Amino acid sequence: MSFQGKKNNPRVTSDKLIIKGGKIVNDDQSFYADIYIEDGTIKQIGENLIVPTGVKTVDAYGHIVIPGGIDVNTCLQAPHLGMTPADDFYHGTRAALAGGTTMIIDHAVPEPGASLLAAYDQWRDTADKRSCCDYSLHLDITRWHDGLFEELEHLVKDKGVNSFLIFMAYKDKYQSSDTQIYEMFSAMRELGAIALVHAENGDIIEEEQKKLLDLGITGPEGHVLSHPEEVETEAVYRAVTIAKQANCPLYITKVMSKPAADVIAKARKKGMVIYGESIAAGLGADGSHYWSKDWAKAAAFVMSPPLSPDTSTPEYLSSLLSCGDLQLTASAHCTFSTAQKAVGKDNFTLIPEGTNGIEERMSIVWDKAVATGKMDENDFVSVTSTNAAKIFNLYPRKGRIAVGSDADIVIWNTKETKIFSAKSHNLTVEVNIFEGMECRGFPVVVISQGRIVLEDGKLNVTEGSGRFIPRKAFPDFVFKRIKARGRMADARGVPRGNYDGPVHDVISMTKSVPATPTTRGPSCPGKTPLGPARNLHQSGFTLSGTQMDDHIPRRTSQKIVAPPGGRSNITSLS
């Protein structure tokens, strides 16, 4: 685990710190010990540590000490409909730290047609200057263009990106076709990256939007009416099907509805390598607010997929999170001011999408899942930090309290409560979708890179102190299984002699064109250059592997190897 990616920005890493008397909680166990931190790294863990003088001591008695949260889905810079989010990297990461999150993974969204590398550079540039906590980047694939695969390869091998998002929604803008999804999944598997999917059927949504606008429904309720949860579920189902064929690890961002979560849970039972991400909004609020008479409030909830109007959804999602059917939590934080949202005051399709949640995420998960007894403190660490670190190959540098890990640590008060409000949050927007919600559990001390950034309710952040954390390809947690399946998956033909019977003469020339193989020319320009690099024999035919249909005779017959040159009986017509 090389700690590359440090920058030259002046940073205070020489702080020495000792955390005393807390209960250390990792995802696997909890124990009482002191932690000694130096140069942004955990140096020692043990009982009653004796440390040099002049070291600041943080008292953690009565609290738990957990790895800092990792928020795997933020959009702090991606423009939407020509507007930039109200909370940028500075405000966003500041709020993250205030809530106990010490690392974010932001989505870099290139303009459709623009180069991914250019977007990467642009995001790096801004985030390096503005971010207050460590960060990493997902790249969103917004359009299929020539040289896309080379860009993906370059990003994975040289730029420390191991996850790419594909949109199944936003028709004519970001949306990819099934063919493109298949090819990108195949490419990502070869590169050892994880395919993230924004799962909604953009074709249906567009038709529904037209229908609703024609009916004269222009308010925010039109947004949720045009994005029914079946449409989310359908897309998840399709993504699962394609990922299975391509033997590619799949990650569904923003699981917002019960049936979508069910599809993921079922796919896992069938052996798929798939992860589902629930977000703060989905766990802490529901979609009934879209019918609020207060336009500004209703509009603040607009995001895609929308919050489900089914009020039992948050509880259901937190149960699935607790039982492991969903694995991690994010915020999908992407906020717009009321004035920005009001661009769509006469047409809900013009309302920029996104909700807050970066600051509230950890407390919401604690309150909904731990305080209610659905999960324990170790599970809490898993879903807020460790699983994310494992999936995105940050582990054990992040996501664990261990000697050698980064000193991103949170001291968590499990007993007291806090009320969310737009008046007190650390964001620039006027509306907080969790307004008035009382949550048990919040951070009392937050340590980022070995430095105390939150103490006594005061934030002490440094703009630009956040480092870019590169992530390597082929995370073990994800790819060990994928690789095993790839090895198993050699499909074999049946050895037969040549067919020597009569062959019908096809007269009509036009029709004899082989249907499928030829028709693919223009649709996948990026494919051809990749051809030589991609070893088709390693590609995973996913019906193999440990699947539930192992008993069927298909594979057994495949594996029969005939004597070389053996001539079998071919044409016995009746």
Q: Which of 64, 224, 410, 445 binds other proteins (CB under 8 A)?
A: 224
Stretch near other proteins under the rule CB under 8 A, chosen from 25-33, 123-131, 221-229, 360-368 = 221-229
Among 436, 504, 532, 563, binds other proteins (CB under 8 A): 504
Tokens 């699962």 locate to 240
Q: Cα–Cα distance between 212 and 202 in angstroms, integer?
A: 15
The three-point CA angle 319-140-392 to 5° equals 55
Three-state DSSP at 441 gives strand
The reply to whether omega before 495 is within 30° of 0 (cis) is no
Q: At what angle do helices 229-246 and 202-214 cross, to 10 degrees?
A: 170
Strands 30-32 and 41-46: unpaired
Q: Between 95 and 401, name the residue whose CB sits nearer to other proteins.
A: 95
Closest CA to 206 of 169, 238, 237: 169
Are 393 and 41 contacting, i.e. CB atoms less than 8 angstroms apart?
Answer: no
Based on the shown chain and the rule CB under 8 A, indicate whether residue 14 belongs to the binding site for other proteins: no
Question: How many angstroms separate the CA atoms of 409 and 462, rounded?
Answer: 17
**Which member of 11, 20, 297, 440 binds other proteins (CB under 8 A)?**
297
Stretch that binds other proteins, among 15-23, 303-311, 319-327, 468-476 (CB under 8 A): 303-311
What are the beta bridge partners of residue 333?
74, 355
Q: Which stretches of 56-208 are assigned E, i.e. beta strand? A: 56-59, 64-67, 69-74, 101-108, 134-141, 163-167, 194-198
* Interacting span for other proteins (CB under 8 A) from 61-69, 153-161, 190-198, 225-233: 225-233
* Closer by beta carbon to other proteins, 50 or else 503: 503
143 binding other proteins? (CB under 8 A): no
Residue 45 makes contact with other proteins by CB under 8 A: no
Whole-number Cα distances in Å, 282 to 255, 316, 361, 365, 405: 8, 10, 10, 11, 31
Q: Tell whether residue 15 is a contact of other proteins (CB under 8 A).
A: no
Q: How far is the CB of 95 from other proteins (least distance, A)?
A: 17
Query: How close are the terminal C-alpha atoms of the chain, in Å?
Result: 66
Check residue 177 for interaction with other proteins (CB under 8 A): yes
How many residues appear in the chain? 574
Pick 52 or 565: Cβ nearer other proteins: 565
Instruction: Count the site residues for other proteins by CB under 8 A.
Output: 120
Query: What is the x/- site pattern for other proteins, positions 230-259, by CB under 8 A?
Result: xx-xx--xx--xx-xx--------------
Q: C-beta of 346: minimal distance to other proteins in Å?
A: 8
Q: Report if residue 502 touches other proteins, rule: CB under 8 A.
A: yes
493 scored as a contact of other proteins (CB under 8 A):
yes
Task: Report the residue from 39, 125, 203, 438 that binds other proteins according to the rule CB under 8 A.
Answer: 203
CB of 410 to other proteins, least distance (A): 29
Distance from C-alpha of 448 to C-alpha of 504, rounded to nearest angstrom: 74
359-398 footprint of other proteins as x/- string (CB under 8 A): ----------------------------------------
| Residue among 50 and 560 whose Cβ is closer to other proteins | 560
Closest to other proteins by CB, 30 or 241: 241
- 474 binds other proteins per the rule CB under 8 A: no
Tokens for 297, please give them. Answer: 């409030």
319 part of the interface to other proteins, by CB under 8 A: no
Residue 31: CB atoms within 10 Å: 11
User: Is there binding between residue 539 and other proteins (CB under 8 A)?
Assistant: yes
69-108 binders of other proteins (CB under 8 A): 79, 81-83
- If the CB atoms of residues 157 and 269 are measured against other proteins, the closer one turns out to be 269
141 vs 181, which CB is nearer to other proteins? 181
Of 131-139, 333-341, 384-392, 462-470, the segment contacting other proteins by CB under 8 A is 333-341
Residues 85 and 335 sit within 8 Å (Cβ to Cβ): yes
Does residue 217 bind other proteins (CB under 8 A)? yes
Contact between 1 and other proteins per CB under 8 A: no
SS3 for 46? strand
Binds other proteins by CB under 8 A, chosen from 8, 10, 48, 172: 172
Q: What is the dihedral of CA 236, 239, 243, 245, to 10 degrees?
A: 120
Tell me which stretch binds other proteins (CB under 8 A): 23-31, 146-154, 273-281, 494-502: 494-502
476 binds other proteins (CB under 8 A): no
Alpha helices in 374-442 (DSSP H): 377-381, 387-391
Phi, psi of 80 (to 5 degrees): -125, 125
Helices (H), ranges, 215-294: 221-226, 229-246, 258-269, 280-284
d(CA 341, CA 223): 13
Distance in Å, CB of 557 to other proteins, minimum: 4
In 3D space, the residue among 380, 398, 361, 406 whose CA is nearest the CA of residue 477 turns out to be 398
Q: Cβ atoms within 10 A of the Cβ of 210, count?
A: 12
Residue 459: what are its φ and ψ, rounded to 5°? -90, 140
For position 212 contacting other proteins by CB under 8 A, the verdict is yes
Per CB under 8 A, 533 contacts other proteins: no
* 532 binds other proteins, rule: CB under 8 A: no
SS3 511: helix
Closer to other proteins by Cβ: residue 104 or 235: 235
Determine the interface stretch with other proteins among 47-55, 177-185, 366-374, 449-457 (rule: CB under 8 A). 177-185
Please state the closest distance from residue 351 (CB atom) to other proteins, in A.
11
Please choose, from the candidates 348, 309, 357, the residue with its C-alpha nearest in 3D space to the C-alpha of residue 85.
Answer: 357
- Judged by beta carbon, residue 9 or residue 347, the one nearer other proteins is 347
Q: Give the dihedral of Cα atoms 96, 98, 99, 101; nearest 10 deg.
A: 50
Chain-centroid distance of CA 418 in Å reads 28
Q: Is the peptide bond before 396 cis (omega within 30 degrees of 0)?
A: yes
The nearest distance, CB 297 to other proteins, in angstroms, is 8
Site residues for other proteins, 395-424, by CB under 8 A, read 422-423
Q: Is 145 in the site for other proteins (CB under 8 A)?
A: no
Query: Considering the rule CB under 8 A, would residue 553 count as an interface residue with other proteins?
Result: yes
